[in-house]
Amino acid sequence: MTGREDDRARRLADLDARTIIHPHSVIGAPAEPLVLDRGEGAVVWDVQGKPYIDGTCGLWQCPVGHGRPELAEAAAEQMAKLEFYSSFGDYSNEPSIRLAERLLELAPPNMRRVFFTNGGSEGNETAIKLARLAHHHAGRPERFVILARTGGYHGMGGGSLAATGIDRLRAGYGPLMPGIEFLAKPHAMRGADVTDALVAELEERIERVGADRIAAFVGEPVLGVGGMVPPPADYWPRVQEVLRRHDILLILDEVVTAFGRIGHWFGCERYGIEPDIIVTAKGLSSGYIPMGAVLAGERVLDLADGASFLHGFTYNGHPVGAAVALANIGILEREGLLGRADRLGRRLLDALKPLERLDHVLEVRGVGMMLGVELDPAANAAGVQAAARADGVIVRASGDTIVLSPPLVIDEQQLDTLARVLTKHVAAA
């Protein structure tokens, strides 16, 4: 590194600390930002030229890896042609139309329409409002309760945060949106046959609240922020059966799980279910530009048929976002990246599993390329994140769990380095 690069890095870090409030940071606390400069595949470089293996692909948004020229070209081409026009009412644009068609081809057969968003929180706001409006329009306005789960994460907006079952994220903001009922965290690997208990809890809660007051159930196929927690294999089909019996809509939050992260276009395929609404974002555009999509199935559309959906954000249906998403889906398909998730995820899981022998490691778990190493709360998960970063590997502490979600393009050697560095720092935690 030259003196000039060092100087630039220090000036940027100082300026950052004086000017920016970062998401998920302590306001006013001294900061040592990692200022990133460029990326390629599964590696990012900071402004001093130091490389990092990206074990999380940012916030798990980048299946195709960093630095793809095809995506930059798709954006530039569309931006030069028509940078943006609102999609409100009867305005539209070709990339959105083509992307909606493509998504409906890839989605489960009951999916009928697409509502575009800028990200996951907006997607869940949209899904919750659509589910409530559908019942309201069908003459059942008292059907507005949303069932959610402890450990679930759905975003930072009014409704999406209210449905997020992680206490540390909810504190300090006054009353959140009412009408949410939390169920237990579904966890496959702790103890046998937890599904019976989870389904019994669901049935009891429906009985207590009254099915005629419940609009929808919202959940992630695999809990992400809540600690990379896969459900028991029979959980989703059994939950779906109960919900259908009571006419409760199923909103599946696939912001993380769609577009290959657990080996399928949509995670619901893995669990053999057909939700009524699917929320996506992140992997849809690999994060090259903010983009999300909510897919609506026939049941919810039948209920909502003719309803005035006075909902939408300025940049919904952004043509540049749609053009990038189409190109991103093209890469996932051409390079067969979905097929890598299980193979590489298994290799990483096998490499990390021996950590379970340590007293302070509670569990090493995962499905596809979503993995978690859960530490005892007394161990220092944030310290593992910092030490791994100093060693050139990016991982993330989410509560007490080190979460991993590498890009699907990561190679075996990079994966093994990631496992080795993480093992070293977890052992020392």
Segment near ligand PMP (CB under 6 A), from 114-122, 324-332, 337-345, 392-400? 114-122
Position of minimal CB gap to ligand PMP: 120
User: Please, which of residues 77-96 interact with ligand PMP by CB under 6 A?
Assistant: none
Q: Tell me the closest approach of the beta carbon of residue 252 to ligand PMP, in angstroms.
A: 10
Could you tell me how far CA 123 lies from the centroid of its own chain?
A: 11
Q: Tell me the closest approach of the beta carbon of residue 392 to ligand PMP, in angstroms.
A: 24
Nearer CB in complex with ligand PMP: 263/379: 263
Q: Confirm or reject binding of residue 119 to ligand PMP (CB under 6 A).
A: yes
Other C-beta atoms within 10 Å of 372: how many? 27
Going by the DSSP 8-state scheme, the letter that residue 188 receives in this structure is S
Segment near ligand PMP (CB under 6 A), from 179-187, 220-228, 233-241, 355-363? 220-228
Nearest Cα neighbor of 295 from 110, 37, 72, 168 is 110
Q: In this chain, which of 253, 269, 274, 374 binds ligand PMP, going by CB under 6 A?
A: 253
**Size of site (CB under 6 A) for ligand PMP:** 15
What angle (nearest 5°) sits at the alpha carbon of residue 85, between those of residues 80 and 86? 160
Q: Confirm or reject binding of residue 155 to ligand PMP (CB under 6 A).
A: yes
As a whole number of angstroms, the distance between CA 336 and CA 330 comes to 10
Q: Confirm or reject binding of residue 230 to ligand PMP (CB under 6 A).
A: no
**Do residues 394 and 400 touch, judged by C-beta distance below 8 A?**
no
The CA radius of gyration of the chain, in Å to the nearest whole number, is 22
Q: Confirm or reject binding of residue 325 to ligand PMP (CB under 6 A).
A: no
43's enclosing H/E stretch is strand 43-46
User: Please, which of residues 262-321 interact with ligand PMP by CB under 6 A?
Assistant: 281
Segment near ligand PMP (CB under 6 A), from 217-225, 235-243, 295-303, 384-392? 217-225
Nearer CB in complex with ligand PMP: 13/55: 55
Is 340 exposed, middle or buried (CB count within 10 Å of its CB: 0-12, 13-18, 19+)?
buried
The DSSP string of 45-72 is EETT--EEEESSHHHHT-TT-B--HHHH
Q: Tell me the closest approach of the beta carbon of residue 120 to ligand PMP, in angstroms.
A: 2
Site string for ligand PMP, 174-213 (x = CB under 6 A): ----------------------------------------
195's enclosing H/E stretch is helix 194-209
Nearer CB in complex with ligand PMP: 397/429: 397
Q: Tell me the closest approach of the beta carbon of residue 47 to ligand PMP, in angstroms.
A: 25
Nearest Cα neighbor of 55 from 399, 377, 380, 366 is 366
Q: Confirm or reject binding of residue 256 to ligand PMP (CB under 6 A).
A: yes
Q: Confirm or reject binding of residue 125 to ligand PMP (CB under 6 A).
A: no
Q: In this chain, which of 220, 274, 363, 374 binds ligand PMP, going by CB under 6 A?
A: 220
Q: Tell me the closest approach of the beta carbon of residue 317 to ligand PMP, in angstroms.
A: 17
Nearest Cα neighbor of 395 from 57, 26, 30 is 57
As a whole number of angstroms, the distance between CA 262 and CA 405 comes to 10
Nearer CB in complex with ligand PMP: 9/252: 252
As a whole number of angstroms, the distance between CA 20 and CA 72 comes to 26
Classified as helix, coil or strand, 301 is: helix
Is 327 exposed, middle or buried (CB count within 10 Å of its CB: 0-12, 13-18, 19+)?
buried
Nearest Cα neighbor of 239 from 264, 261, 212, 268 is 268
Q: Confirm or reject binding of residue 224 to ligand PMP (CB under 6 A).
A: yes
Q: In this chain, which of 39, 63, 65, 120 binds ligand PMP, going by CB under 6 A?
A: 120
Segment near ligand PMP (CB under 6 A), from 69-77, 116-124, 176-184, 414-422? 116-124
Nearer CB in complex with ligand PMP: 3/23: 23
Site string for ligand PMP, 50-79 (x = CB under 6 A): ---------x--------------------
Q: Tell me the closest approach of the beta carbon of residue 311 to ligand PMP, in angstroms.
A: 16
As a whole number of angstroms, the distance between CA 126 and CA 31 comes to 35
Segment near ligand PMP (CB under 6 A), from 44-52, 152-160, 191-199, 372-380? 152-160
Q: Confirm or reject binding of residue 153 to ligand PMP (CB under 6 A).
A: yes
**Do residues 416 and 422 touch, judged by C-beta distance below 8 A?**
no
As a whole number of angstroms, the distance between CA 149 and CA 164 comes to 8
Binding site for ligand PMP (CB under 6 A): 59, 119-121, 124, 153-155, 220, 224-225, 253, 255-256, 281
